[in-house]
Chains A and B, each alone.
Chain A
């Protein structure tokens, strides 16, 4: 059952002197109930803009976000508030996303307060349950965020995101700032809670090995568009789009030697995107048509790919 359906979502930022940056172009994606969809790409690919515009933390410039069939893009703030109970987010930086003046009990319990749920005592009870759920000690309730390490702070952020029993969580680089030995603890926690509570997750990361580990399906983004999408293992073992192939080969892996294909150049400026396929300036398999015409994301025998090498 489809929980969330993103249709042709786009976001244009307006800069100085009429400059326009198309951060998100025509992105369509759906997430089933209880499904984890990974979104991966390099800086400027629009993955964070996607996560935030579907929650309307950033106002989309066009397109639809259907949550349980209802489009939330045109909703007024007041009508949006009850929807926010079901849609939560965890950010990358557990240092920047927790109010340093509030005690952890207040940080975790605030969503309940904002939505007027339960009595003060019931909220306290819920906070205690949440602390248990994310593996924090009960005495955390009266301590401040700065008394906790990065990994524990991310646990606090997860507890807060779970406070309202959401149906979907956007995890935006939720484990990227953590040390290797802590990262796996938090990945395990998110995976465990996702199964236990049957939550859908849009898992955004630049780290393909993390995405691979947690996601049922993945979408690869480049310069504001999805270039490939499919079942995680299919894409990882048999990447179709030349960009996906380059991205996979660029990841340094333990036990492998160098001398893979190294992609030349860098991600182009989104304010001045290349014509045709945005990847053509770096693509090892570039053809004339790629410079002229932008390929559409089309279903293929495996997943969907936006590339002229495949039937359009």
Chain B
């Protein structure tokens, strides 16, 4: 089983992602957060326990409370065995090459995806993880 977490302060994006994930993987457990601080707290809580599922995260960059980069900084302090459960994808509307570069350079980021999340990208992603 793989869980899905969407962290983005834009609820419309979260709606689109949730629907796309649900269609691609009917039984998936999807959670979305518009507040990255709450997401971090719950991620730490829910995935510290034994037998926790692997989890795919779609993380936005430009958010008010914390940027995606700041979320990744805090994620860095998670226990090692928890970190290993996570597959983090940056999902941003930005088409700025600097952001893409920064994503590539971050050890926790699997890939940079330009919004919107589509069925095609989702299928490809499911075959990778």
Is A bound to B? Answer: no
